Structure formats: C-alpha cells, structure tokens
A and B are shown apart, each in its own frame.
Chain A
C-alpha cells in the first residue's frame, strides 16, 4: 500500500467536515472489504481527481456509534448504513418481510466477509472489472480517467456488461443488495457538506466512477425500504461460479404483487449485466395482468434481455441472465 492518513470519527458530522477539509483527497471506509482491496492492489493511479486516484485520507466510519440498526417503522424498514451484512442475515424481520434483500445478503461472499461488509458499502462498492482492479494500475483505463476500456478487446467473459457500455465502460456493478433494493423500491439517505438528502435507489446509481451519485463530501447514512404491498412477495436469485465467495455473473430480483391470482404490479431488476443494476419495465409489462407460469416468466425474462449486446466472449451470460431472471420471477410469484 501507499501511505495514507487514517482518521477515526465519532459522528457523521465529523466525517463530513473531514471530507470537506480534504475534499477530493479523502474516502470513507466502512467494512473495508472493497476499498482496501483496491488500495492494496495499488490499482488506482497515485494522483488524479477524487475517486480516480489512490486516496490520501481515509475516514473510518466504524467508530461512529448508532449507524448500525435494523428498525421497522410505519414508513417501512430502516437500515443504518453501517449495519453489517451478517446482522441483516441474522434478522428474521428482514427474512420474513423483505425476503429479496435477505436472500441477496445471504448470497454475498462468505460469512467472514459478511461480518465485515456493510449494507452501505455493498451499495457503494466499485466495479470488479479485472482490468480496472489489476495490480499496479497496469491498465489505466477509461474508468480511471484514461481513454480505453480494455474489456472491449480483452478477456471479457465473466464480470462484464452484456447490455452495452455507457460512456464507454463495460464493467458491471458487482453488488447483490442493490439489485434487491431496487426491486424493493428502496431509498438512500445521504449526509454531506450540502446537508441531508434522500434519493430513490433507482436514481442513485451512476455510470463511471464512483458508480453512485455521491459527491466527495457525501456519505450514505441509511437505507429505507417501504412496507411491502399487500399480496406481494419478493425474491432474489444469483448465478455465481462457485457455491460461495464469488461475485454475480448475473443476479436478479423481483417483487410481484398479485390480486386474484394475477399480477397487479411487478418490479423486475437485473444485476451483473450492466454498469448499474437495471430495472426492466419491459419484463414488468409482460407480467402485468397475467397469471405467472413458466411460459410467462420466460417471456418476461426474454423481454428483460431484449436489447442485449454481448461482447466477444460473454454471449453465454445472456442465456444465464434470462434463466436467473425467470427463476426470480417464478420464486416471487410462487
């Protein structure tokens, strides 16, 4: 690792003022499973704009009390941003009422990592692109401020987009909870130098670094999920190469509300196939008003992947994604 200064902070306010003081040079760390990997790899250039360069200041959020909570309120579920994935996994409240999120958390890496990783960090993690992350900044790619996306010509089999490369980058968002949270219509509360704000998770993800709409002085403080509609059920599915540890080649989440056996409302989200999780309104349209069976689910999954434009080596991902979306729909409709 290069050298950096490390600050433990006690409050969100203190964190924000440090971020302001070192604006553009500081990054926050929660579980550290994502950021420290990038730093240990020396994957980022030593100098450059915020997010594209090796941070000089680390603001440690683990020392803030009271950002780790799971609460049900009349307006829905409130998760402190520092809530560990393991705590969510252990919550029967989340398991019973927001199963897609619970299933997504369970699908992440290993118990050890889930004990370290947080829900805020899982949302705000960087892409797992092998070119972006390769040691010693060997590939100074477009996402780091360079000019080339090496995935287009390179080995683009696994963790790369099949739905196009907005602004030239073909990396995929690596998270599992974002897919579920988008299906569950969640919002994100953000603290920053400009004050507090709340963003719908659908609007929250962004292309290119850092992958989310946060300014250098922002940090996530809470995840909010509305109560689930009557007659609804949610489900999450993930395809990974090994039974444990691996990031999603493809994941999917569905929230399906039924009235008298037919779908009255649906939210279908795909992950691992594009720079951000993507909601498929086409798939939702297919489902609405229908009784879900294999054929309908298949049709919806096909609609979700309709515009797919795989790269040279990853066409197989389109088939896998279809299967994963179909299985999520069938599970949510069961």
Chain B
C-alpha cells in the first residue's frame, strides 16, 4: 500500500519566525459575554408566537409499531401540529439520517428513545402533555444490548440483512503474512479487553434548535458544531438550495461530536415550523438527551500479538467488535487506529465488526473510537510488557512510531517527525517515572487498605480529517481595523479567540483590532466544522492564508507611503515598518485612510492529501485504591502532548485538563446502564450517570507540551488538541491499579463494583 512520497514542501507559514500574537496566553475574546450571562444560547431564544416541540419517544428498545393514534394529542387545546414518521415520509422527505435512520420511526423502533411522533404546541407544558397522549400500540421484540449477542447466528435481525453492519467486517486491514509473523515470534500474548459501555457526552447544553421560515427561506438557531454542515444537510433533506437555509450558532454549550451533523430534531423543527407557519423551538431535556442521540460506543477487543524476546512487536492479529446501536453511524473505522497507529509491526490482520444493537447509536464523542480502543490496546501492551520482562516505558520506546518513518500500514509520510520517544522522556522526567517505577505490582505507597501505583499510556491520534477546500475572507476596514469572516464555530474550546489570533498574526494586526464573524452561514464562509481536532490546524490554515493575502495588499500600499519595496516591509501591531529600520513606519489606519473602500482578501485551503497528520500524547498517573471498597482515585497526573505549535497556551492547557477529567470520569464510572432484563436506560440523569465532579480533580494535574513542526504541518504548525487528552486516562488508571495491587481489570469502568469483584477473584498481590 505504499505510496510514492511527495517532496516535502516549505510550509506556507515557514517565513513567520518572530510571532507576536500566537503563543501568548490570551484570555477569550468573548469571555465578558460568557461570564456576565449576556451570551445567548439556542436554549435562551424566545420568539413572538414561538411554538414548542416535544417528542413521543419509544419506551421500548425493540418493537414493531402496530398503530399510532394522534387524535387525542391533536384535540388538546393549544396543540398546533402532530407529525409522525409516515407524514414525514409521504410529504416532506424520504431521506434517511446518516445511513438508515428515519427522521421519525416508521414501522419499527430499534432503540429506546426513538421519535415516534412529535407535537408542536403553544407551551412546553402543553407539548409534553400532548406527546404523552399519542397512543402507540407496540409489539415488543427480543432486544440485544451486547454486540456479541447480537452477532450470534440465531439472533433476531434488527435490520434486514442481519446484525453485522454491511454484512462483512469493516474495516479489514492486512499487512505481511500473519501466520509467518507468529511463527517468527518468540512470545505470543493473547487477551480480550473491553470498553463495553455507552458513554454520554454530558454537554452542558442539550440539543436545542429554533426554526422559522421567512417565505421560502428557513432560519435555524441551533446548538451545533458546524453551521454550514447543518445548513447543507438540512437543505438536502428538504430539497432546498443551500442558500435558502441559514444557520446561526454564536454560543453553544459544548459540542463533543454529537452536534457535528444534521440531527433529526433539527429537520423535525423545520418541518413543524413550515407546517404551522410559526417559529418552533425543539429542546430536549437531560433525560431525553441522554437516550435519543449518539454516544461513545462499546469496543470489545480480541488481540493476539507476537513479539521477539527483545520486546519488538512482530505480528498483530486483532478483532474489534463495536455496538452500532439501532442505526449505523460510527464504529471500528475510528477505533481501529488504536491498533494500527501506535506501534510498528511487520505483519497485521485486523477486522472490525460493527453490530446493530438495540441501544443508542454509536457516534462521535471527542476522539471517536479512540479512548475505548486505547484502554484495550494500552492495557494489553502493559500485560505483554510484563510477560516480556520489560518495563512499560522501555516497552513503548522499543515499539512506538518514531522519527521520520512512514506509517506502518499505509506507508504514508507523517506531516512532521514523530518525536514520541522525546515526548515519553519529557513526560518521564517531569513525572519522575524512573524514581516511582519499582516494577510491576510494586506499589508506590502502601498503608492499611490503601495502595498506590503508577501507570502510563501513549496515544497517537489523527486529526484534520476533512479534505475539501475551505475558505476565509479578511478585510481591512477604512479605519484600519480588520474583519475576519470564517465560519469556525466556537464550541467552548476558545476557537473564536484562536482564529482571531491566527488572523491577527497573519495580517500583522493587533488582536483587539480584529473582529471575527464566525457564527452565521449568511455572513461567513465555510471553513469546516469544529470537530476532529481540525479547526485550529485546518480552518486556521484558510484563515492564515486569507490573512497573508490581506497583508500582501497592505504592504503594497504601505510601500508607496514609505517609499520602499513591499518585500522590505513587515507588519505587526497594526503597523507597517521597514525591516531594516523599524522606526520608519506607518499605521494600518493611515493605510486604510488612503482607500475609499475596504481592502478584502480571500483564500482557499486544502490540507495536504495522503499525509498522516497526527497528534502525540503520553500520559502518566499515580492512582490510589482502597482494596476494601474498590474505590479508585487519581492522585497525581501528568499529560504530555505534542500538537505542534500552541496557538493560545492557556486554552491549550485548559483543553488538556478538561479532556483528562472527562477521561478519568470514563475510567472510573461513566456509562449508560441498560437494564439487562427490560432494555431500558436506567440512568439518564446526572445523579446516577456519574460524571466527574470538581472533587474528582486529581490533587496534582500537570500539563507539558513539546512543539514539533514539520513540512506538512498546517496553520503556523498547529496540530490540534481538542480530542487527544481524553484518550489515555482509562489505560493509565487500569495500568496504575495493576501496579498498585496486581489486579487487572479488563473491562471499563473501574468502578467499586468491578474493582472489588476483580480483587476478590484475583486477590491483591501487593
């Protein structure tokens, strides 16, 4: 599969060496609005004459719909419309959400929480009441919560064609000769490790949209991660031209992958608004939010790996089984990277099995597929390292992707040198790994029922996955201020600030002279969604290029004023000066004053194709367990990242810390509980679904970073930080628990029940 290497280019930002905006910790430019409560979220919007939508949800995990009677709901005073799947299909759209999900259920429900009917009424109260008056006759069917159960030959098919999505393993990868690989191996390790839970995003703001029509034009204020993505998808569903749909999302209470595409509630709201001629708000409450939409999905991993005595991996044979939920969206394609992307190997056989299950849908959640797979792979590698008699750190250094090599499976070039060993060393030094590591099952602390131990995990994660051309516009206003038009939705990660910083740097303007227009499809061009850790590197590249274009025009005008050649000039702080003599200068204001109209510049950017863009991560932690109760805590944690150039250090560190806390939540407790007998989600709330609290913060949580740049690095060398921090904590905790006690927990979460049960079965060995 090896491809000829393109010649390494000179990055388009390479001449920018002396940065004045990028790399300096900068408070969020919209902090004032956010902190004073002035920021308006979709949930805050109230419009005159606005109706409220509410859905009748399927209470069953799997059932045939025999009859739907909406007459009682329609008769309730204040109800303006009730729609069912049949009406959507007959009158509005036959399109399916993602692969095969009807907007509203037709003849069958495959998931608890599936929309069966949706009501629009004058108040939320009436809408909810009306939704409960929709009478549905179901015939309950056997349901499957476990993908391995669903794949058994005698299981009832959730979709025609059986429960294996696509009818075959997807994806499948092969390299070398797997049988030969094992024959050449000195040590072979085999195990099953699983992240078997659905994990909810727990966004602060649940799903909300407000939809209204002005003539034939649809307006949406939506809590989403990609305005243009939503616009184009909704337009396609309703058969409208793209510019007949407008999507606005200025502030949103987090999006973690679940708000990246067009969701069914948006389309339903648009239909109800059209049908009633009134604005419609569709808000899903926490209970609903936690069952109706996509989640992080289970990944069960069977792994057999052959090693040389010196610890080198020879062959990997792995199977991952994912629970896809009732309708397919995401699965093993993403999770497989945790098998094929971290280490070198000569022989590989990989198969991913995505199984339909009567559970919520598998979907993107901050590093789709990776945290689950990382737990599986990195727990496995610690088990293997112990069998090989090699400490976990040395084991990683022997095998991990390193330096200027090519991708072990695809043969692609990496965008930049993969300095994993340097990152491992930097992490180890800061964490004092070598002082604290006393061998497997050697606690760092032991007193009464308390044991502490250290663990680590590495992670190499792809980013910047949209390959299309994205564009941005910059503008020098007649007073010398700069406008940036780029639809890079701020999902709470500080994108608005980072994009403005990139523009300021590229143009040569003061940050406070830059105004960003980023939240309305009517005014800002598409730079792609804020997901996949892509916005800063990819969207940022379009913005940087549009900034360079504007700078070029500004320097040309300044050349006339300063009597110099444009190439002898530089711009910073909204001033243009002679490189040789910075005292000779003029201001953006003076330059702009010469122009009767604003100067504008546009640029398009396409990420380099067939280049492996990766972020590098090494996490280390010390965990503590009470062996009498199984209660695990994280007492010390170090997150080391190499995401190339750091644009805004304070935001970068916050991203890492937030990701680590989320990961610790998943490591210790989080997971939707489906009743094994009744199939119902039992904990769709923040009491019984246990997201971390502030008291779960490790007493010590440090972040360090290296900034490796390379020939195919994007915007000023940034490589994205949104996702990678959430990925390693599960394996860090599991490996730390093992080193503290000798107890290996092979299924998430490491909650008191699972840990205490494992302690009883395996016995504490320290």
Interface residues of A (CB under 8 A from B): 1, 41, 130-131, 134-136, 138-139, 150, 153-155, 157-158, 239, 241-247, 249, 313-314, 316, 319-320, 323-324
Report how many A-B pairs have Cβ atoms within 8 Å: 84
Chain B's nearest CB lies how many Å from the CB of A331?
14
Most chain A CB inside 10 Å of its own CB: which residue of B629, B676, B693:
B629
Residues of A within 8 A of B688 (CB): 130, 158
CB-CB under 8 A for A241 and B669, given A154-B675, A246-B687, A320-B752: yes
Interface string of B433-464 (1 = CB under 8 A from A): 00000000000000001000000000000000
Chain B's nearest CB lies how many Å from the CB of A108?
13
CB-CB under 8 A for A136 and B675, given A157-B753, A316-B753: no
Closest A residue to B691 using CB positions: A242
Residues of B within 8 A of A316 (CB): 630, 752-753, 756-757, 760
Partner of B690, one of A139, A239, A241, A314: A241
Residues of B within 8 A of A244 (CB): 693, 695
CB-CB under 8 A for A136 and B59, given A130-B683, A150-B678, A243-B696: yes
From DSSP, what is the main secondary structure of chain A's interface residues? loop
Task: State which size class the interface on B falls in.
Answer: 20 to 34
CB-CB under 8 A for A320 and B629, given A135-B287, A154-B678, A242-B690: yes
Chain B residues 629-679 with CB under 8 Å of chain A are: 629-631, 633, 669, 673-678
Contact A239–B629 (Cβ < 8 Å): yes
Contact A241–B677 (Cβ < 8 Å): no
Residues of A within 8 A of B680 (CB): 134, 138-139
Contact B675–A246 (Cβ < 8 Å): no
Does B567 interact with chain A (Cβ within 8 Å)?
A: no
Q: How far is the CA of A38 from the CA of B718 in the complex (A)?
A: 49
Chain B's nearest CB lies how many Å from the CB of A56?
16
Closest B residue to A157 using CB positions: B753
Interface string of B673-707 (1 = CB under 8 A from A): 11111101011100110101101100000000000
Chain A's nearest CB lies how many Å from the CB of B528?
37
Residues of A within 8 A of B695 (CB): 242-244
Residues of B within 8 A of A314 (CB): 753
Does B122 interact with chain A (Cβ within 8 Å)?
A: no
Does B132 interact with chain A (Cβ within 8 Å)?
A: yes
Chain A's nearest CB lies how many Å from the CB of B626?
8
Closest A residue to B755 using CB positions: A316
From DSSP, what is the main secondary structure of chain B's interface residues? loop
Q: How far is the CA of A193 from the CA of B55 in the complex (A)?
A: 44
Contact B59–A138 (Cβ < 8 Å): yes
CB-CB under 8 A for A245 and B682, given A135-B287, A316-B757, A319-B760: no
Q: How far is the CA of A150 from the CA of B132 in the complex (A)?
A: 23
Chain A's nearest CB lies how many Å from the CB of B117?
15
Residues of B within 8 A of A243 (CB): 633, 693, 695-696
Closest 10 CB pairs of A and B: A243-B695, A153-B677, A323-B628, A130-B682, A316-B756, A154-B675, A155-B675, A316-B753, A244-B695, A154-B677
Chain A's nearest CB lies how many Å from the CB of B52?
15
CB-CB under 8 A for A134 and B682, given A241-B669, A249-B752: yes
CB-CB under 8 A for A155 and B682, given A136-B59, A241-B669, A245-B693: yes
Does B205 interact with chain A (Cβ within 8 Å)?
A: no
Q: How far is the CA of A243 from the CA of B449 in the complex (A)?
A: 18
Contact A241–B287 (Cβ < 8 Å): no
Does B425 interact with chain A (Cβ within 8 Å)?
A: no
CB-CB under 8 A for A242 and B696, given A135-B287, A320-B629: yes
Chain B's nearest CB lies how many Å from the CB of A151?
10
Q: How far is the CA of A103 from the CA of B710 in the complex (A)?
A: 58
Closest A residue to B757 using CB positions: A316
Residues of A within 8 A of B747 (CB): none
Does B751 interact with chain A (Cβ within 8 Å)?
A: yes
Q: How far is the CA of A319 from the CA of B761 in the complex (A)?
A: 13
Chain B residues 272-309 with CB under 8 Å of chain A are: 287
Closest A residue to B59 using CB positions: A138
Q: How far is the CA of A5 from the CA of B692 in the complex (A)?
A: 37
Knowing that A130-B688, A241-B669 touch, tell me 17 more A-B residue pairs with CB under 8 angstroms. Answer: A41-B287, A131-B682, A139-B678, A150-B678, A153-B677, A154-B682, A155-B674, A241-B751, A242-B690, A243-B695, A244-B693, A316-B630, A316-B753, A320-B628, A320-B630, A323-B628, A323-B629
